[in-house]
């Protein structure tokens, strides 16, 4: 059976991706930063779908820990056929007033952390001459957003990483793409003031916030053989959000 690995899988988009991949026949490794209970609950859903699950804590900023995780997953479940690089954080605020550490943290997690996981997976996929990687970027990386300069930079950089790696990995049969969610109903959007949320919905062609499952579907497609001729693509999953 195919094996998928989803980082940041304890809640939101990552959890929805893990469940969707299990529903499509993948055994799933789920990583988490702090919410072990959430990851274990998602793993129970994966097992309820008849698939195997492996749960592991991961500090994506630690390249050695990321490499060890990949090795443990392949020993426990088998070769990774699909990777969903989803782990991410925000540290919002005006850039000119932000401490250097706060500015750097989303870049360290969302961009460097993604690369720390992608690189060891890609090396193994390249040796096997096959596999699919999907990185979760953001509409903010394309359009920017006041108070999120660090987050926007991290997500824009992630798109650049994906497009460069698509050129490097394509000759070895490895595909890498990105999805670019808009405003998705997660713990991050739940704390938005109601008037902000209403304004965002008004600028969305479909007239609603997205759900994590709205992202999980395109991610699962990009992981699958149905997307065998797609690499280096950035798929907007934003409901037609006008920014």
Contacting residues for 179 by C-beta, under 8 A, at least 6 apart = 134, 135, 136, 137, 215, 218, 219, 222, 234, 235, 237
Report CA dihedral (108, 30, 215, 25) to the nearest 10 degrees. 150
The DSSP secondary structure of 116-138, one letter per residue, reads HHHHHHHHHHHHHT-EEEEEE--
SS3 82: strand
Q: How many Cβ atoms are within 10 Å of 125's Cβ, its own excluded?
A: 25
Active site residue 26: no
Quick one: tokens of 140? 């903010």
Residue 64: closest CA among 110, 116, 121: 116
Given 56, 111, 151, 174, the catalytic residue: 151
In angstroms, the CA 103 to CA 97 distance is 10
Catalytic residues: 151
């Amino acid at each position: 059976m195919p094996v998928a690995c989803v980082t940041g899988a304890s809640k939101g988009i990552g959890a929805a991706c893990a469940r969707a991949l299990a529903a499509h026949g993948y055994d799933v490794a789920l990583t988490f930063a702090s919410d072990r209970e959430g990851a274990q609950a998602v793993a129970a859903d994966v097992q309820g779908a008849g698939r195997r699950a492996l749960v592991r804590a991961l500090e994506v900023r630690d390249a050695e820990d990321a490499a060890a995780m990949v090795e443990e997953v392949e020993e426990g479940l088998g070769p990774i056929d699909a990777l969903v690089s989803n782990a991410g954080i925000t540290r919002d605020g005006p850039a000119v007033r932000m401490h250097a550490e706060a500015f750097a943290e989303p870049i360290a997690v969302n961009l460097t952390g993604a690369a720390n996981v992608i690189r060891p997976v890609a090396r193994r996929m390249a040796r096997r001459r096959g596999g699919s990687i999907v990185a979760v970027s953001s509409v903010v990386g394309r359009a920017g957003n006041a108070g999120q300069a660090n987050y926007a930079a991290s997500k824009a950089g992630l798109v650049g990483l994906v497009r460069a790696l698509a050129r490097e990995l394509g000759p070895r049969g490895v595909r890498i793409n990105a999805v670019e969610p808009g405003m998705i109903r997660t713990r991050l959007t739940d704390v938005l003031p109601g008037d902000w949320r209403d304004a965002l919905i008004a600028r969305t062609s479909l007239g609603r916030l997205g759900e994590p499952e709205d992202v999980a579907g395109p991610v699962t497609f990009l992981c699958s053989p149905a997307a065998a001729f797609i690499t280096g693509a950035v798929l907007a999953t934003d409901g037609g959000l006008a920014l």
